[in-house]
Structure 1
Amino acid sequence: MPLSSIQQILLHTIDEQFPLYLHDWQSISTQIYTSPAPKIQDIWLSLLRHHGFLVQYLDPDQLILYGEYMVQAPQTLLFYIKYTPSMAMQQVTFPLLSQLAAIHAYANHCKQFPVNIKWLIDGQASTPSTYLAQLLAEQRSLLQADSCILYTTKREISKVAMQTELILGIKGHLQVEVSLQTATRAIPASYGAIAPDAAWQLIWALAALKDEREDILLEGFYDHLQTPEDEVIEAISHLPDISAELRQAWGTEQLVMDLKGIQQHYAYWLTPTCTITLLNSALSPQTSTSMDDTVDNTELIPTQAQARLDFQLVPAQNPHEIFTKLQHHFHTHTSYPVQCRLLSASQPIAISAREPMVQQWQQAIQNVSQQPPLLLPLAADVDEYTLISRQFAVPTMGIALPIASVATGAPAPLEQLRAHMKQHVLFLTSYDRQTPDHANRLSSH
C-alpha cells in the first residue's frame, strides 16, 4: 500500500533523529547493566516522564510502573511488558524507545497525536498470577483501554524464524488429578489372578481417553471446535520445518506420528491435547497388612493409583464442561471408586486475524521490513495475556520481536531498532481518522 505524504514525512523524521535515539538506547543499556534490579524501574520512569508521560508506581515495592500519554483521542491503547533480568535488552528497550520515537516524530509535524497511550511495565521477576490479577482488578478504571498489546518473548517452536510474531491468542488449560482405589487391605501379588489391581484399572480407563492416532475419545470433546481462519493456516504454512531440531533437543527418535512441516505446526498451534503428566500406583495410606505383616511392599498389588491429566484447549472449548465429561468418563469405565479433582482451569482466548489492530500491525511491518510478520494463533503459558484479556474484555494481541544475532544472519540490533521505530510510527498513523488532506495537520514550523 502506498505511503501517504505524512507517513513519508514521519519516516524521514525517524531517520533524521535516529542518532539521538541511538544515544538513548546506548545510555539506557549501560544503566540497566550497571544498576541493581530494584532500581531498573526508575530508569523507565525517568524516560517516560522525560517524553511527557504521567507516571506512577502501582505497588508499594515500586516494581509495577504505570505511565499514560493522554491526548483526548477517541481510542486508547494499553501496552504491557514484563521485564526480567533474563530478557534480552532489545526485548524491553526496543518497544519503549520505538513508541517514544513515534511520539517525538508526531510532535514535530502534527498538531494532534492520534491515540491515547498507556503503559504497564511489570518489573517483578516472578509475579504471582494472583497478585497481578488483583492489581488489574483494583486498577481497572485506570488501565481500561480499547485494545491491549503485550510484548513477550518468541515461542520456542519459532525462534529460528527471524520475523516479528503477532500472537493472536492463548490456549485454554485444564489440569485434573484422578485417583482410584480398589481395596482397603494389602493383597499379595500371588492373588493377581483374582484381586483387582488399581494400576491396571486406571490404565484401562486412561487408555479409553485417546487412541494411537492421538484422537481424543472423550465424548463431546470436539463438539464446539471452530474452523481456523484461512489467514492463520496460510501463516503457519510459512513457519520453518524444525522437526529435526526438536527431536535433537528432546532426545527422541521422532515426533508423534512422525509429524513434519505444516502438519507439525497445525498440530502444535491449533489442535487440543490430552497429556498424562503424572502416573503412579501404591498402597493406599489406610491399607492394612493384616493378611500377612511380613509381606514386602514390593510384592503387593497396588490398591490405589493416581494420574494427572493436562489438557491444552483451543477456542470455543470450555474447560469446565470438559471436566464434567471427564468425571462421567471415569465413572463409566471402571466399577471402583474414582475421585476427579480439578486443579486448574482457564478458557482459551483468541482474536481474529481480521481484527483491525492485527491488520494495522501487519501493514506497518510489511511497509518497513522485507520479512512479513508471523501470525501465531495460540500460544501457551503466557499468564499475563489471559489475565489482561479477561479483565478488560478487549482485543488483546502479543508481539514478540526477533533478537538480532550474527549466527542467525538477522539484521544488526541498530537496524532492527530503526525498523521497529518506523513500524511503530506507521502503526500509530493507522489510528489517524482525519481527512486525507494532511497539509492542514502540519504544524507551522
Structure 2
Amino acid sequence: MTLQISNPIWGKIDAHIDNNVDYWIKQLARLCAQPSVSATNEGIDECAELVATMLDEQGFRAEVMPSDGYPVVYAEAFGEGDGRSDKTLLFYLHYDVQPADSLELWDSPPFELTERDGKYYARGISDDKGHIICRLAALAAVKDALGGLPCNVKFIIEGEEEIGSSNMPAFVEKHKEKLAADACIWEFGGVDYEERPSQALGMRGICFVELSVQTASIDAHSGLGGSIFPNAAWRLTWALSTLKDQNERILIPGFYDNVQPPSERDLELLAVMPSEAAQLKEMFNLDGFLLGMTDSLEWKKTAVFEPTCTICGLTSGYQGPGSKTVLPAKASAKIDFRLVPNQTPEEVVSKLRAHLDANGFSDVEITLHGGGRPAKVDPDDPFVQLTNETAEIVYGKEPNVAPMIGGSGPNYPFIHTLGLPLVAAGVGYPGSQVHAPNENMRLDYFLLGTKHTARIIEQFAKG
C-alpha cells in the first residue's frame, strides 16, 4: 500500500485533535486522579466504572464484565454512514497502574495531573491512561472528519496488566466471539531515543514465581542456633545458586529444549534497528554489559531472543538499620523467567520443580504468581505495513521496527486465539519513567501519537 502524504481528511482530523487538546488533557486528569493499583487492589473497581462511564460519554456502549480476577471493561460502537466498512478494529488497553512508591521521590502528587515545562506528570499517565485518552481523542477526530465512525470499533480494557494479566487468556477464550475483530491496536507505542516511531511486533513471555523455604517456626538467636540450627537464608541461597551459572547459562535441565531461534526475517529487522546500547549505559550508569558484550547484532539478539532467569527480590531475616543477631527461620525470593518462542510458563514451573527436587531442595516451595506465553506478529502483515507507513508520514521518520521486545504482555491470546495482527502506536517516549516516580507524558508526543492512531483508523476502514 502506498499512501498519499497530502490527504484533506487528515487535515480535518489533525485540526480537531489540535483544537480539542485542552478537553482531552482534562479527561486525562480525570482518569489519572482515580488510583487503580492492581498490586494492592486500590481503586480498581472505581476505576473500571470510571472508564466505562468515559466510554459511554464518547458514544460507546460500555459494560464492566467480571473475570476470574479484576473486572474488564468492554465497549463497542458500529460504523456509520454510506462509506462505512464492515471491518472491526479492536483496542486492547489497561486501566491499572503500578504502585506510586516511593512517594518521597515524586515532585508532585502521583494521582494529581501536574504540568511542568510541556510535560504532564501522574502515575499511569503513560502506562496506560494516556493511551486510553489517545485512542478516544483519535476516534473522536476521525468521527468528526468523516461524519461517523468508518468501521466497527471494540475496546477491551483490563485491570491486571501490571500484575501479569494471568486471567486474560481465559477471558479472551471465553469471549472470543464478542471480541472478534480484524486487527488490534495494542496498549503502547511512541518514539525511541532518536525520536523515530517505534513498532513492536512481539513480546517475550513471562513466568513469575516465588521460592520460599522455612526451617523453623521462629527466628532464633544466632549465638544459640548458628552452629546447630538450619538457616533458611543459606538454604535458599544454595538453592538459587543451582539455577544459573556465572556465564548466564540457566542450569535447569531441558530449559532450552523448546527455544525457537529468531528467523532470518527477525535478524534482518534487528540488523537495521538503531542501537540503544549507549543510551542504556548512560541512563543506568553501567560500566558494560554481561559477558563483555558490546554493541552488535549479537547484543540486540541476546536482549530479546534469549530467555532469562532474574532474581527480582530477596527477603530473609533482619534488614533494618544497625545489627540484630538472628538466624532466619524463613526466606523467599521472587524470580521472573522471560520466555521466548516456544516456551511456556507451565513447562518452566514443571522443570524448575524437578530440578530443585533432584538437587535436594524438595523443601523449597514454588508459588506461581503469574505467567504468559511469548508471541509475535508477521512483520509483513498488511496491517503492520499500514501502521508503519502512516507513522512515517506523521513523524517524518521511518519507523524503528522490533520483531520482539524484552518485556511481556498478554499478546498471545490476541494473536493465537483471536488470530489478530497487533501493532503499536501511542504517546510513549524513553524519558516517560513508566513504573518509576515522576512518570510523565510530553504534550507533543501525545498529539503525534493521537494523529498517528487516527490515520491508522481512517486507512484501516478504507483497506
Same fold (TM over 0.5): yes
The range that moved more, 223-232 or 246-255, is: 246-255
Distance, in Å, in 2 between the alignment partners of 1:182 and 1:26 is: 59
Match of 2:125 in 1: 87
Q: Name the structure with the higher helix share.
A: 1
CA contact (8 A) 2:208 2:368 kept: yes
| TM-score, with structure 1 as normaliser | 0.68
One-letter amino acid of the structure 1 residue matched with residue 179 of structure 2: L
Distance, in Å, in 2 between the alignment partners of 1:169 and 1:423 is: 19
Query: CA 1:364–1:188 in structure 2 vs 1: closer, same or farther (change >3 Å)?
Result: closer
Per the TM alignment, residue 273 of structure 1 is displaced from its structure 2 partner at its CA by 0.3
Query: CA 1:27–1:319 in structure 2 vs 1: closer, same or farther (change >3 Å)?
Result: closer
Distance, in Å, in 1 between the alignment partners of 2:13 and 2:302 is: 45
Correspondences of 1:147-158 after superposition (within 5 Å): 147-152=183-188
Correspondences of 1:244-323 after superposition (within 5 Å): 244-262=278-296, 263-279=298-314, 298=325, 306-323=332-349
The range that moved more, 14-23 or 188-197, is: 188-197
Distance, in Å, in 2 between the alignment partners of 1:397 and 1:31 is: 26
The range that moved more, 124-133 or 336-345, is: 124-133
Match of 1:12 in 2: 8
Query: CA 1:125–1:176 in structure 2 vs 1: closer, same or farther (change >3 Å)?
Result: closer
CA contact (8 A) 1:161 1:239 kept: no
Match of 1:45 in 2: 56
Per the TM alignment, residue 140 of structure 1 is displaced from its structure 2 partner at its CA by 4.5
* Alignment partner of 1:399 is 2:424: yes
Distance, in Å, in 1 between the alignment partners of 2:305 and 2:258 is: 14
Distance, in Å, in 1 between the alignment partners of 2:71 and 2:330 is: 49
CA contact (8 A) 1:151 1:398 kept: no
Per the TM alignment, residue 367 of structure 1 is displaced from its structure 2 partner at its CA by 5.1
Listed one character per residue, the Cα deviations across residues 9-61 of structure 1 (whole Å, up to 9, x for unaligned) are: 8x2222256434432344333455479757676554333x2xxxx52333599
Per the TM alignment, residue 105 of structure 1 is displaced from its structure 2 partner at its CA by 5.3
Correspondences of 1:16-165 after superposition (within 5 Å): 16=12, 18-30=14-26, 32-33=28-29, 42-47=53-58, 49=59, 54-58=60-64, 64=73, 66-70=75-79, 73=85, 75-82=87-94, 86-87=124-125, 91-102=131-142, 113=150, 115-120=151-156, 129=165, 140-152=176-188, 159-165=192-198
Query: CA 1:382–1:24 in structure 2 vs 1: closer, same or farther (change >3 Å)?
Result: farther
Structure 2 regions of 5+ residues with no counterpart?
Answer: 35-46, 97-121, 433-440
RMSD between aligned residues: 4.9
* Alignment partner of 1:215 is 2:249: yes
Aligned identity (percent) is 24
CA contact (8 A) 1:163 1:402 kept: no
**Aligned with residue 362 of structure 1, among 388, 398, 421:** 388
Listed one character per residue, the Cα deviations across residues 368-389 of structure 1 (whole Å, up to 9, x for unaligned) are: 5432223334446665545655
Q: State how many pairs are aligned.
A: 400
Per the TM alignment, residue 178 of structure 1 is displaced from its structure 2 partner at its CA by 3.5
One-letter amino acid of the structure 1 residue matched with residue 266 of structure 2: V
CA contact (8 A) 1:282 1:305 kept: yes
| TM-score, with structure 2 as normaliser | 0.66
Distance, in Å, in 1 between the alignment partners of 2:359 and 2:71 is: 53
1:151 aligned counterpart, secondary structure = coil
